[in-house]
Structure 1
Amino acid sequence: MDTSNPQQMILMQIANSMGGPTRAPLLVVEEYVHWKVRMETFLLAKDKGEDIWRSMLLLNCQDEARPAPLTADDIEKLHADQVAFSEMVFGVPPSFFEHIKLCKSTKEIWDTLQDLIEGSENMKDRRLTSVVNDFDTFIITPGESVASASNRYRIVVNNITAHGIIRTPLEYNLKFINSLGRGRGNVKSCLQSNGSLKKLKLYKLFDEL
C-alpha cells in the first residue's frame, strides 16, 4: 500500500484497529472500549479460545517456575498463556510499548493499559457522566436530516452501551423520536398505538421515519 497517500493511510489505520481472523486488533486510544471487545472476540475465536481468554484474565507470569516433567494439561495451559501474551503484545502500538514491555503476564498488560487509558475512578465517573449527558441532551440540530441524526444517535447509544448502561427499546425509541420535534408526532402516535415502540430495534425505527 502506498503510505504517501493520506486516504490509503487512513484505510490502513482502520484495518489495523479492526484486526482480522489472524491479526490482533491494534489499540487506538480513542477506540479503547471497542478495542477491548475486539480483542476478546479475537482471542475467543482462536483454537481453544476459551482457555486463551481465561489465561488473559489470570495473573500467570511467563517466567514462573513449572514442575518437570510437564503434564498434558500443563502444556496446554502453557500454550494458552503464550498465545494470549503474544497476541496482546501485537495489539499494543509502539506509543504504549514502553509501558508494557516489563509486564510478565497478559493480565498485567491488560490492567496496565486500563489504568493508563481509563485513569482514576474520578476520571471514569466524569467520562460516564459525559456519556449519559450526551444521551439525555440529544436533539436534532436545525436543518439536520433524519439520516444524519440517526448516525449521531447510534454513536451515542453505542457509547452508553459500552459503559454498561442498559436502556429499554422504548426509552431508546422515544428519546430519538422526541428529539426530532413536533413534526414527527403523527409517527410517534402511530407507533405507540400499535405497541411498536416497546419492541422496535433502532434500525427498524429509522426505517419507519
Structure 2
Amino acid sequence: MATHVGTSLAEGQSTNRPPLFNGSNYTYWKARMKIFIQVLDYDMWSIIVNGPHTPTKIIDGEESTKSEKEWDEVDKKMAQLNAKAMNVLYYALDANKFNRISTCSSAKEIWDRLEVTHEGTNQVKESKINMLVHKYELFKMEHDESITVMFTRFTDIINGLKSLGKSYTNSELVRKILRSLPRTWEAKVTAIQEAKDLNTLPLEELLGSLMTHELSMKQHQEEEVKKKRTIALKSTAPPDEETDDTEDEEQDEEMALITRRFKKFLRKRKQGMRKRPFTKGEQSVSSIPRRKQKMIS
C-alpha cells in the first residue's frame, strides 16, 4: 500500500515548506529562512534585501514611474518575483505575526519590519552586539565542562553576533578557543600551536582534536582512580592465615638469630676473662692454699 507524503508532514520535515515562525527564537528562524529563500530562488532573496523593482521610463530626459499598463515583460516578471517572496514569507508566519505585516506592500518591507520588531533598531542592535562581544572576550571554558558543551556555548555567541552583522575570521575563532582552555590543557595547546598553522586550521578540525585529547585525559584519570582504589583495598584487607604463618616464621627466625648471637657473645666474654693477665696484688684462686681457700669461702 503506497504511503502519500506531502501535506501530512509536520513543519521541518519537508524541504518544500518554509520554517514556521511563531514569535520565539527569531535568530534561528531568520538563518533558516534566508537559506530556504536562496535555495528556492536567489533573485527572490535579492528582492527581499534590496527591495522590489520599480518600473521607470524616460520622458523629455526625466525619469518617471511607469503605470501598470506600461509594464513590459521584465517589469511584470520582477513584480511577480516580489509577490512570490511575499507569499513565501506569509506561509512562514503564524496568524499573530501575519497581522503585524499584513499592511506591508513588499517582501523587503515585511523582512525589515520583522527585524525591527525582534532585533530592534540600529541602536538596539549596537547594544546587543556590544553585549555579545563582551561575552566573547570574557569567554572561558568552565570547570568540569566538556569540550562539546563549551563549543556549543561559544557557537551560540558567534552565531548571535553573525546574525547582527558582526563576524570573526576562522583564524580569530581558533585562537580564541585555544586561549579559553584551562591550564590543564596547556601541553595540548602548545602541541597544536607548534604542529598546525592557526591561520588555516579549520575550527571543526580543532574541535575534533580537542575532543580526542579529552577522551585520552578521561581514560588516564579513570586508570589512576582504579589504581588508587586497588591500593586502598589492599591496605584495608584483613591478613589471611598464610600471611600470619609467614610473619610468625619470620619472628621465630629473628629470635633464634638474636639468641645465637647472645650466646656467642657470652662465650667470647668468658674466654676473655680466662686469658686476662693478673695485675699486681691479684692472685688466682688456684694459687691460694686450700686451707686459706676454705677460710675465704
* TM-score > 0.5 by shorter chain: yes
Output the CA distance in 2 between the equivalents of 1:169 and 1:120. 29
Output the CA distance in 2 between the equivalents of 1:103 and 1:166. 30
Alignment of 1:110-121 (within 5 A): 110-121=111-122
Instruction: Report the CA distance shift for 1:74/1:169 in structure 2 as closer, same or farther (over 3 A).
Output: closer
Instruction: Report the CA distance shift for 1:65/1:101 in structure 2 as closer, same or farther (over 3 A).
Output: farther
Output the CA distance in 2 between the equivalents of 1:144 and 1:195. 25
Instruction: Report the CA distance shift for 1:112/1:52 in structure 2 as closer, same or farther (over 3 A).
Output: same
CA drift at 1:138 = 1.1
Alpha-carbon contact 1:24-1:42 (below 8 Å) kept = yes
Alignment of 1:61-140 (within 5 A): 65-67=67-69, 71-140=72-141
For the aligned residues, what is the CA RMSD? 2.6
SS for the counterpart of 1:198 is coil
Kindly provide the CA deviation profile for residues 86-108 of structure 1, in whole angstroms up to 9, marking residues without a partner as x.
11111222222221111122122
**Aligned twin of 1:8:** none
**Aligned twin of 1:51:** 43
Alpha-carbon contact 2:136-2:157 (below 8 Å) kept = yes
Output the CA distance in 2 between the equivalents of 1:19 and 1:106. 25
Output the CA distance in 2 between the equivalents of 1:149 and 1:132. 17
Output the CA distance in 2 between the equivalents of 1:147 and 1:45. 30
Task: Specify which structure has the bigger relative contact order, considering alpha-carbon pairs within 8 angstroms and separated by 6 or more residues.
Answer: 1
Output the CA distance in 2 between the equivalents of 1:28 and 1:197. 41
Aligned-pair identity in percent equals 24
Q: Which amino acid aligns with 1:81?
A: N
Instruction: Report the CA distance shift for 1:88/1:167 in structure 2 as closer, same or farther (over 3 A).
Output: same
Alpha-carbon contact 2:170-2:202 (below 8 Å) kept = yes
Q: Which amino acid aligns with 2:37?
A: L
SS for the counterpart of 2:25 is helix
Kindly provide the CA deviation profile for residues 5-47 of structure 1, in whole angstroms up to 9, marking residues without a partner as x.
xxxxxxx9xx74x58532122225453334333323222222x
**Which runs of no fewer than 5 residues in structure 1 stay unpaired?**
1-11
Output the CA distance in 1 between the equivalents of 2:109 and 2:121. 17
Greater CA drift, 157-166 or 178-187: 157-166
Instruction: Report the CA distance shift for 1:22/1:189 in structure 2 as closer, same or farther (over 3 A).
Output: same
SS for the counterpart of 1:207 is helix
Q: Which amino acid aligns with 2:131?
A: S
2:30 paired residue among 15, 28, 36: 36
Count of residue pairs the alignment pairs up: 190
Instruction: Report the CA distance shift for 1:114/1:160 in structure 2 as closer, same or farther (over 3 A).
Output: closer
Alpha-carbon contact 1:19-1:25 (below 8 Å) kept = no
Kindly provide the CA deviation profile for residues 24-71 of structure 1, in whole angstroms up to 9, marking residues without a partner as x.
22225453334333323222222xx2332233232469xx95115x53
Output the CA distance in 1 between the equivalents of 2:77 and 2:111. 22
Alpha-carbon contact 2:18-2:92 (below 8 Å) kept = yes
Instruction: Report the CA distance shift for 1:203/1:99 in structure 2 as closer, same or farther (over 3 A).
Output: same
Output the CA distance in 1 between the equivalents of 2:169 and 2:35. 25
TM-score (norm 1): 0.77
CA drift at 1:152 = 1.7
